[in-house]
Amino acid sequence: MKAGVGFHGNIDKLAKFSEVVDFSIKVRNKFINKFAEHKEDFPGIEGEALFIGTVLHSLDHTLMDWNLEDALWLDVEHPDFGMIAEFGRFVKVGFVSDLPGLFFEKRFKDAPHPFYQSVYRHALRINRKLANHMDTCVVK
């Protein structure tokens, strides 16, 4: 945590090859700027950490769900990647699907705070599918 987010200034070179990278770059700037306007509503929270913990983290779970139909596809016997495959199986079956019956809104699109609504409207113009899966908190 003391080191912060490592340098990733060249990530824009990946944007033309990845809709997720392109989306993340374009949403991050709006997120950070809007967060600064509403910082007093989020005491003790740092904008970059909130972006990583909400937008990136929720999309990470969503993308695993979209791209890995069956947890058994992961090869736990692989000599180099077996351990992470085993962890991936655990995550896929226990922490990827949305929980039913929550009594609060967890998506940016449904969150009433103007910060979330502003970021969502911006994200919607970039990529509707990804924007609709940004969570204000990861509850799986």
Position 57 in a domain: yes
- Cα 65 to Cα 93: distance, rounded to the nearest angstrom: 9
Position 107 in a domain: yes
Q: Which two three-digit tokens encode residue 138?
A: 């990861």
pLDDT class of 35 with cuts at 50, 70, 90: very high
Position 11 in a domain: no
Q: In this model, does residue 138 exceed pLDDT 90? A: no
Domain count, the chain: 1
- Cα 72 to Cα 93: distance, rounded to the nearest angstrom: 10
- Residue 1's pLDDT is 65
Task: State the CB neighbour count (10 A cutoff) for residue 115.
Answer: 19
Position 127 in a domain: yes
- Cα 55 to Cα 71: distance, rounded to the nearest angstrom: 24
Strand partners, 135: 107
Position 71 in a domain: yes
Q: What is the pLDDT of residues 47-76, one digit of tens each?
A: 999 999 999 999 999 999 999 999 999 999
Residues in the chain: 140
Cα 95 from chain centre: 13
Residue bearing tokens 């929720």: 58
Position 3 in a domain: no
Position 6 in a domain: no
Position 35 in a domain: yes
Q: In this model, does residue 89 exceed pLDDT 80? A: yes
